[in-house]
A = this chain, B = another copy of it.
Amino acid sequence: MIGNYLEFNVFFDIIGTIAFAISGAILGCKKKMDILGVTVLGLVTALGGGFVRDLVLGINPPKMFQNSTNAIISTVFSILVFMFFYFRKNFQSRQVISFMNEFMIISDTIGLASFTITGMATALSLGLDKRFLLIFVGSITGVGGGMIRDVLAGTIPFIFKEQIYAGACILGSIVFLLTRSFLGDQVSMIICFFTVLIFRLLAVKRNWNLPRISD
C-alpha cells in the first residue's frame, strides 16, 4: 500500500517539479535575473513545496536531499527556459511577455495540481489519514513553492492576488476526500488533479472573482 502510493507519487511529483521549475525560471527571466538566479528561482519553486511538506511531516532530511533527481530535473528545465528566452530576445517584447505570462500560469497550475496530490500521498504513505491534515498538507505542498518563489522575487504571492488559487487546491483535496471511499485512492487522486487544473484555468480565463472589499 505504502509502496503503491510512492510509485504513483513519483509520476505526479516529476510533472509538478518540471512545471514549477519552469514557472520559477520564467519569473526569473521576467525579472531580468542572470542564468544562475533563474536556476535558483526554478529550484526553489520546484523543491520549496515539498521541503515545507517534509518539515511539517517530520521527514529528515527532506526528500530533496535523499534523492537528487528532482534537483537535477529542475536545474535542467530552468536552464532550458533561460536559453529559450535568451535566444528569442529579437522577438517583439510585448509578444514574448504575453507568452511568458500565459505559459507561466499554465505550468504553475500543473505544479499546483500535481503537488496537491503528492502532498496528500506523502501523508498517507506515512499512515497519517486525518481529513484536515490531508487538506492542509495537500494545499501547503501545492502553494508552498510558488509562495517562496514570489516572496524571493519581490512580488506579492499569487495566492493573494490571483482569483481562486489556494481555493483550487482546497476544492481538489475535498473532492479527493469525498470520492476516495467509493473510487479508491488512485482514481480519486487523478480526479483531484483535474479538478485543481480545470478549476483554476477556468477561473483565470473567465476572470472569476471571490468577493473582495472595494474602495
Contacts and interface: CB of A to CB of B under 8 A. Distances in A.
Interface string A152-166: 111111011101111
A57 B68 contact: no
Nearest to A87: B213
Contact of A57 (B41, B61, B215): B61
B213 A159 contact: no
Q: What copy number does this chain have within its complex?
A: 3
A210 interface: yes
A41 B161 CA distance: 12
A160 B28 contact: yes
Nearest to A131: B68
Interface stretch (A32-40, A102-110, A187-195): A32-40
A39 to B, nearest CB: 9
A212 B132 contact: no
A5 interface: no
A4 interface: no
Given A93-B215, A153-B156, 12 more contacts: A32-B214, A34-B209, A36-B167, A37-B161, A37-B212, A40-B159, A58-B60, A58-B61, A61-B128, A89-B213, A152-B157, A154-B156
